[in-house]
Structure 1
Amino acid sequence: MDAIEFKKFLPRNNDDPPQSPHEELFVPPWLFKHRDLSEKLESARKVDQKQLINVLNFIHFTEGSLFVHFNHPHYDEGILIRACPEPCDCNEITCRWTDKTASPLISNKYSYQQIIISNGESLLLVPGMIKYLDSFHLKVHLPETSFDICQRKYKRYCCDEIYAEIIQNGVMFQGTVIDFSAVAFRVRIFHKPSPQYNWLNHEAPINVHIKKSSQILFSGACKSIRNTQDSIGKTIVLAPVEDHISRFRKAKIRSPRRQFVPAPIITFRHPFFDKIVEREIGDISNSGFSVIEPQKEGVLMPGMILPEITIKYAGALEMKCKAQVIYRRTNEQTVHCGLAILDMNITSFANLTQIINQESDCHNRISSKVDMNALWEFFFESGFIYPEKYRFIQTYREDFRKTYLKLYHEKNPEISQYFTYEKDGKIYGHIAMVKAYERSWMIHHFAAKPMESKLTGFSVLKQILHYLNGVHRFPSAGMDYIMTYFRKGNKIIDRIFGGFARHLEDSQGCSLDLFSYLIFQNKRNSVDLPENWRVRECTSYDIWKLELFYRYQSCGLLINALGLRGEGSTDETLTFLYKNHGFIRQVKAYSLLFANEPVACLIVNKSDLGLNLSELLNGIKIIVSDPDKVPWDILSSAISQLLDNHEADRIPVMIYPPEYAERYNVPAEKHYYLWILDIGNKGNQFLEYLEKNFRIRLK
């Protein structure tokens, strides 16, 4: 056994053989099997006494240990006993035994050979002369010269409190990880002697799960390199079968990678051996990065998960993330390792995307503080706020200004992001997104105006697409669906979004539903519904009936994207998130019942005035599931009941299907399409469509 392995056999494991209360378990020391070291002394690096004393004091300072090599008096076997050095300022060192096994061994008068110090990569042999030895201490006269023998291709790191599950064809063993290198790790299985050991086929792949507490650090297929067994258990050296893993599905269009000078760096506390590691980044995108590390001191193993990494850019900006090593490629003396970002704080992700986007075009901005006069001037000049829309919002213009001041001057990345194209303090392109529902974000406020020959609209669209392509994978983002509304007849937006839905021909990947739109006058004088009619909060049964209708009518993504689940369908998580940022967002679903059967679903949305300039998040969305039974006067009475406590006088109402409005002569002013994309499954196909059909280079 190697010296570094000695550390892990001492603590008693829960799976050790039982013992009586009065009998202390004797754990034998490791045998020293490197008798050939003496042959390597001529080529070893020489270490003088002064350097050796510094090494010994460092071990004492870090509460580390060293090993003392003894020989058996009769069997010519070498053993290793762990000891801790005392402070040293002269040519003598005193060491304390840390193992209870030392006393009986020393009393048997094993013969002292040398001190051995291991750093995982090399062994420092100290052939000093013994001055004093008893059951508690050892004093050694230090030599003038010691020998540093490098004998490992890859440095090993001692692990602590790292546990492993070894599984193969229905058989499972538990153990601890003794040591780790970038290419292999050693697991110690403490068990009673069991015939099940023989069931482990060392020539076949073995599934290994490595944990620290309850956190998974590695899970994958490994191969057994070698194994040994003794009286206290089994030791297996395992290496990952693959040097490349597929964390995410392959995508034709990937997030653009950039190289920076000077290069950013990453730092992290290694989860296996609990030391700080720093590496230089080779290239980086908002979905992952590659790092360079020395071959002999590698610490990154394919499949390993790093719970927290800090990306440091230009010595000032720090961004934290969770990542997984997906490949390891050796190139002469260095190794290139690729890491995929698994999760990231939204603020950090926005900063990372901003750095990458600005490298390609310095006019790109993500949620940067903007001049509010410049923003409102842009909205009017670009025609985004047209006369009809302004007539609707002008009554509440002061509320709108307050909302936008909070949105654009206080960073709220968990609920809102905006992307601009700016030059010399003027805005030429704008697009934004808000967290509309629990698992859905809404793209809105897409506008542009000319800037020389630049297609500024496509520039901001490209920004948000790069952002979405990276962030949707993160659990913390809560992004399963992307949605947007656009007016029927808006040819450019219809080509971008509606064109893809028609091209895909898969409403479960991308759906397109048409709604009638009207402004409902809130008179706050609701009347009771006729007999057999009533409104209640949606139940699971109501949602089930609604899903039956919607699947027949559209088979799209609307019900899933709105997060309708029944029992009121109130999204408290979303409400709480907005409240933490000083905003209002409430969603609640009601059913209109006739003879106790649901015939329509009314989804009441409430938000700050101006969160969406068309107030599509501050009105009522209606799905009429049984149009034959719901006359408009009954439906409008139900709407009035739900608006009794609503502050606004004029409320946007959207009705689906649009044929209902035509049938009952509902005074619909216009029609809106609701476009919804399953971004995890069809997001990359949407990027391919845009790159092929528009002048947008996304790679």
Structure 2
Amino acid sequence: MNESEKIPAPLLFQNTDLLRNLESGRAISQKQLINLWNSHHFADGMVYVQLRHPKYKEDILVWAHPEPCGGDSMTCRWPEESREFIENADILSVIFTNGLSLLLVPSQLKDVERDYFTIHLPENGYVLGQRRARRYLCKDIKVEVVQNGFYAQGRLVDFSALAFSVEVSPEEVGSFRWFNAGKPSTIHLYRNELMVFSSSCKCIRQTSDHATRNIVFSPTVSQLSQGFKKKFRNPRVEVNPLPKITFDHPATRKKIQLDVYNLSTSGFAVHVAAEEDVLMAGMIIPDVTINYGGTMKIKCKAQVLYRGEDKKEGIHYGFGILDMNVVSYDRLSHIVINVIDPHIHVADEVDVNQLWEFLFESGFIYPKKYKHVQAYRHIIKETYRKLYRENPEIITHVTYQRNGRIYAHMSWVRSYERTWMVHHLAARPFKDRRTGLQFLKQTMRYFDGYYRLPGVGMDYMMFYFRPENKFPSYFFGGFARHFNDPRACSLDLFSYLSYPTSDKNQQIPAGWSLESFMPSDIDELDRFYNNVSGGLLLDVLRLGKEQEDVESLSELYARHGLKRSYQSFSLKEKGMLKAVLIVNQSDPGLSLSDFLNGIKIIVNDTAGLPWETLSVAISQLVGCFTIDKIPVLIYPSSYLEANGVPCEKNYNLWILSAHYGREFCEYMIGKTKMRLKLLIRTLFRIYLKK
């Protein structure tokens, strides 16, 4: 209790046995007593004054404000709310607490007035009792108690690492009869409308009032279940120097700082001494800062998942990270993965010249691709400088480097509102040793924490690759075939051709129209796509869905000096939908194959849409592009062949729902551990276009 809070009513003092056995308590010297008293005053704490009621001869506890002590006396001021109780009452003792111990000051009255009293400084004070965990008074924390059909709400009174006290009222007066103190209850605590605790708890004791009760709860479990069991646990590492976490305690609002003794991409663990313990399994901390080396600060939202004790280390807690943004996750991953393999770098600043050298030497940029992009190489260089030197939150990447030279590289770019696209995937040998498998394993460790975080904005991951490319076909395509559920992981084959942007604004035939996609068009498109594929493409495109009340993809890119947008159009004959054209725009080279700077087409009526008409529709839309030719991807891939149009090549569009990210990571990590001869011959091949 401090001076800024409302003063509660006096309490009936029932622990008189404590006073009869003062000598059994631990005595403290005058010097210790003065220091504890002044520390309590410095923290704006208040004290209890034990009074003997003049009429009923009962002992009551009344609040008072302590004054600083520097001489041979101690003074307390009466708050206005306490003054009506002190007239003719005997002052017996002064009691205060540091949260862990109860400290009693025997009272020999020196002076008493209406608004204050003074006692002689005693030779000794007494420590009465020692709590296993320090208790803190709390304010402005809302409580919900749920037990089957019983529901009550109120406030958190005090908190310790082992138990907490609440004052609650049920929905209806008298419904405490439905509260079973012998059964667990689910307790939710809220601070500023944010949940800061959720766990199953047992009732230790309660008052017997019908309308409002004080109930003391203690957690029933020391470890929370995450709802799923992982086949491969994210590796924990010990980091030197020790990272530290700092946060405002959600219940007490005190600043907490703890050393982290192990760290992973999904959580961390700390040790605490019993007298410093302020945590509890189920506690949610909205704003944790991980401080590494005094220079790197990583912010996250975390929850205490387990509590354990051992004789050597004392009490230890494990935290799970609930959320963080892309930049923070990249910093954390770099620390963890760099301990496992110091040659792997996560979202570290990349020497762009080394990256270009790697992309050419690894074969990722093959002659035909370079011919396509070379005219815009200066623009592309600037785009890559922004992406890989400034590390904005629209891209993340992992590299395998030795002395600054890159031997493997994988990156993802934010491609749609809630979707990330594999941007690069390439590797080359190091001293005749293949780097691909070990590198892929570590990137999956990275991805395993990445997709879980709401702040990252990944509901889906997508990847374009040629069917004949063995590396992605084996791993990515292999998972789609293995899982065999297109609503979890889909694989759609597109035909590809280059379309010149000079052929623009051709006249669309009579009876045909090209108009903005309308929500009313989605039913027909849904029926077609679900019958032909049943995959995730329409979920990624979010056709017909309103923009969420957050920063849009275009705004996010613009904030970093880049361009990204997409618009959808419906091609119709006499009002009947024949195809949907999605116009993707970005800076040239954002994707070296320009999949984000071209047109994607879904033809829902192959027989009813002549190529000539579709080509005219494309010409109506190419005027917005600044490059000579754009890629056009058409689904289904059979459309061009059915219309006698040569197809340059085919691409698989692989899409994974993040709900199945755990299964994907387990599959990929399992595959990297295989040592079959066929795997050795094929998996080390670089992601090449043939």
TM-score bin, normalised by smaller chain: over 0.9
Q: In the superposition, relative to structure 1, how do residues 570 and 320 fare at CA in structure 2: closer, same or farther (>3 Å)? A: closer
Q: In the superposition, relative to structure 1, how do residues 696 and 129 fare at CA in structure 2: closer, same or farther (>3 Å)? A: farther
* 1:185 has 2:161 as partner: no
Aligned to 2:620, what secondary structure does the other structure show? Answer: helix
* 1:422 has 2:401 as partner: yes
Q: In the superposition, relative to structure 1, how do residues 185 and 552 fare at CA in structure 2: closer, same or farther (>3 Å)? A: same
Find the counterpart in structure 2 of residue 462 from structure 1.
Answer: 441
Find the counterpart in structure 1 of residue 474 from structure 2.
Answer: 495
Aligned to 1:628, what secondary structure does the other structure show? Answer: coil
Find the counterpart in structure 2 of residue 380 from structure 1.
Answer: 360
Find the counterpart in structure 1 of residue 574 from structure 2.
Answer: 595
Find the counterpart in structure 2 of residue 575 from structure 1.
Answer: 554
* 1:369 has 2:349 as partner: yes
Partner Cα separation in structure 1 for residue 5 and residue 406 of structure 2? 67
Partner Cα separation in structure 2 for residue 380 and residue 499 of structure 1? 27
Find the counterpart in structure 2 of residue 254 from structure 1.
Answer: 233
- Superposed displacement of residue 207, structure 1: 2.7
The amino acid of 1:156's aligned partner reads R
Which of 156-165 and 524-533 deviates more? 524-533
In the TM superposition, what whole-angstrom CA distance separates every residue of 1:173-223 from its partner, at most 9, and x where no partner exists? 222111011121101136899322323222222232211121111233322
Find the counterpart in structure 2 of residue 66 from structure 1.
Answer: 47
* 1:531 has 2:518 as partner: no
Q: In the superposition, relative to structure 1, how do residues 175 and 587 fare at CA in structure 2: closer, same or farther (>3 Å)? A: same
The structure 2 residue matched to 1:514, chosen from 493, 502, 527, is: 493
Aligned to 2:35, what secondary structure does the other structure show? Answer: helix
Find the counterpart in structure 2 of residue 402 from structure 1.
Answer: 382
Find the counterpart in structure 1 of residue 330 from structure 2.
Answer: 350
- Superposed displacement of residue 330, structure 1: 2.4
Partner Cα separation in structure 2 for residue 528 and residue 40 of structure 1? 102
Contact 1:498 1:675 in 2 (8 A): yes
In the TM superposition, what whole-angstrom CA distance separates every residue of 1:40-64 from its partner, at most 9, and x where no partner exists? 5445333222232222222332222
Find the counterpart in structure 1 of residue 321 from structure 2.
Answer: 341
Aligned to 1:461, what secondary structure does the other structure show? Answer: helix
Q: In the superposition, relative to structure 1, how do residues 111 and 143 fare at CA in structure 2: closer, same or farther (>3 Å)? A: same
Find the counterpart in structure 2 of residue 653 from structure 1.
Answer: 632
Gaps in structure 1 of 5+ consecutive residues = 13-26
Gaps in structure 2 of 5+ consecutive residues = 676-690
- Superposed displacement of residue 567, structure 1: 7.4
Partner Cα separation in structure 2 for residue 164 and residue 678 of structure 1? 36
Q: In the superposition, relative to structure 1, how do residues 85 and 469 fare at CA in structure 2: closer, same or farther (>3 Å)? A: same
Contact 1:10 1:99 in 2 (8 A): no
Which of 446-455 and 432-441 deviates more? 446-455
* 1:210 has 2:165 as partner: no
Which of 486-495 and 143-152 deviates more? 143-152
Partner Cα separation in structure 2 for residue 454 and residue 204 of structure 1? 61
Which of 599-608 and 172-181 deviates more? 172-181
The amino acid of 1:358's aligned partner reads N
Matches within 5 A, 1:98-113: 98-100=79-81, 102-107=82-87, 109-113=88-92
Partner Cα separation in structure 2 for residue 567 and residue 620 of structure 1? 21
Find the counterpart in structure 2 of residue 48 from structure 1.
Answer: 29
Aligned to 2:491, what secondary structure does the other structure show? Answer: strand
In the TM superposition, what whole-angstrom CA distance separates every residue of 1:279-329 from its partner, at most 9, and x where no partner exists? 222321111112111234321111111111111223332211110111112
Which of 429-438 and 540-549 deviates more? 540-549
Partner Cα separation in structure 1 for residue 219 and residue 46 of structure 2? 30
RMSD: 2.4
The structure 1 residue matched to 2:544, chosen from 565, 570, 580, is: 565
Partner Cα separation in structure 2 for residue 391 and residue 581 of structure 1? 28
Contact 1:85 1:96 in 2 (8 A): yes
Partner Cα separation in structure 2 for residue 545 and residue 259 of structure 1? 55
Partner Cα separation in structure 1 for residue 551 and residue 647 of structure 2? 32
Contact 1:154 1:298 in 2 (8 A): yes
Find the counterpart in structure 1 of residue 95 from structure 2.
Answer: 116
The structure 1 residue matched to 2:66, chosen from 85, 94, 102, is: 85
Q: In the superposition, relative to structure 1, how do residues 41 and 133 fare at CA in structure 2: closer, same or farther (>3 Å)? A: same
Partner Cα separation in structure 2 for residue 81 and residue 570 of structure 1? 52
Find the counterpart in structure 2 of residue 693 from structure 1.
Answer: 671
Q: In the superposition, relative to structure 1, how do residues 224 and 211 fare at CA in structure 2: closer, same or farther (>3 Å)? A: same
* 1:282 has 2:261 as partner: yes
Q: In the superposition, relative to structure 1, how do residues 494 and 10 fare at CA in structure 2: closer, same or farther (>3 Å)? A: closer
Find the counterpart in structure 1 of residue 426 from structure 2.
Answer: 447
Partner Cα separation in structure 1 for residue 594 and residue 347 of structure 2? 21
Find the counterpart in structure 2 of residue 273 from structure 1.
Answer: 252
- Superposed displacement of residue 568, structure 1: 10
Q: In the superposition, relative to structure 1, how do residues 91 and 254 fare at CA in structure 2: closer, same or farther (>3 Å)? A: same
- Superposed displacement of residue 170, structure 1: 3.4
Partner Cα separation in structure 2 for residue 144 and residue 221 of structure 1? 47
Which of 67-76 and 640-649 deviates more? 67-76
Find the counterpart in structure 2 of residue 175 from structure 1.
Answer: 154
Find the counterpart in structure 1 of residue 10 from structure 2.
Answer: 29
Q: How many residues align?
A: 674
TM-score by length of 2: 0.93
Q: In the superposition, relative to structure 1, how do residues 134 and 190 fare at CA in structure 2: closer, same or farther (>3 Å)? A: farther
Contact 2:519 2:545 in 1 (8 A): yes
Contact 2:334 2:347 in 1 (8 A): no
Partner Cα separation in structure 2 for residue 693 and residue 272 of structure 1? 46
Partner Cα separation in structure 2 for residue 523 and residue 63 of structure 1? 76
The amino acid of 1:335's aligned partner reads I
Partner Cα separation in structure 2 for residue 566 and residue 134 of structure 1? 72
Contact 1:563 1:569 in 2 (8 A): no
The amino acid of 2:84's aligned partner reads P
Aligned to 1:629, what secondary structure does the other structure show? Answer: coil
Find the counterpart in structure 1 of residue 604 from structure 2.
Answer: 625
Contact 2:174 2:210 in 1 (8 A): no
Contact 2:152 2:171 in 1 (8 A): no
Aligned to 2:645, what secondary structure does the other structure show? Answer: coil
Q: In the superposition, relative to structure 1, how do residues 40 and 641 fare at CA in structure 2: closer, same or farther (>3 Å)? A: farther
In the TM superposition, what whole-angstrom CA distance separates every residue of 1:590-618 from its partner, at most 9, and x where no partner exists? 11111111110111110111111111110
Q: In the superposition, relative to structure 1, how do residues 192 and 393 fare at CA in structure 2: closer, same or farther (>3 Å)? A: closer
* 1:551 has 2:530 as partner: yes
Partner Cα separation in structure 2 for residue 567 and residue 278 of structure 1? 43
Partner Cα separation in structure 1 for residue 339 and residue 551 of structure 2? 40
Partner Cα separation in structure 2 for residue 527 and residue 613 of structure 1? 28
Contact 1:46 1:146 in 2 (8 A): yes
The amino acid of 1:637's aligned partner reads V
Q: In the superposition, relative to structure 1, how do residues 398 and 570 fare at CA in structure 2: closer, same or farther (>3 Å)? A: farther
- Superposed displacement of residue 397, structure 1: 1.1
Which of 38-47 and 595-604 deviates more? 38-47
Partner Cα separation in structure 2 for residue 524 and residue 571 of structure 1? 37
- Superposed displacement of residue 461, structure 1: 2.4
Contact 2:441 2:668 in 1 (8 A): no
Contact 1:568 1:588 in 2 (8 A): no
- Superposed displacement of residue 659, structure 1: 0.5
Partner Cα separation in structure 1 for residue 211 and residue 48 of structure 2? 21
- Superposed displacement of residue 523, structure 1: 1.5
The amino acid of 1:431's aligned partner reads M
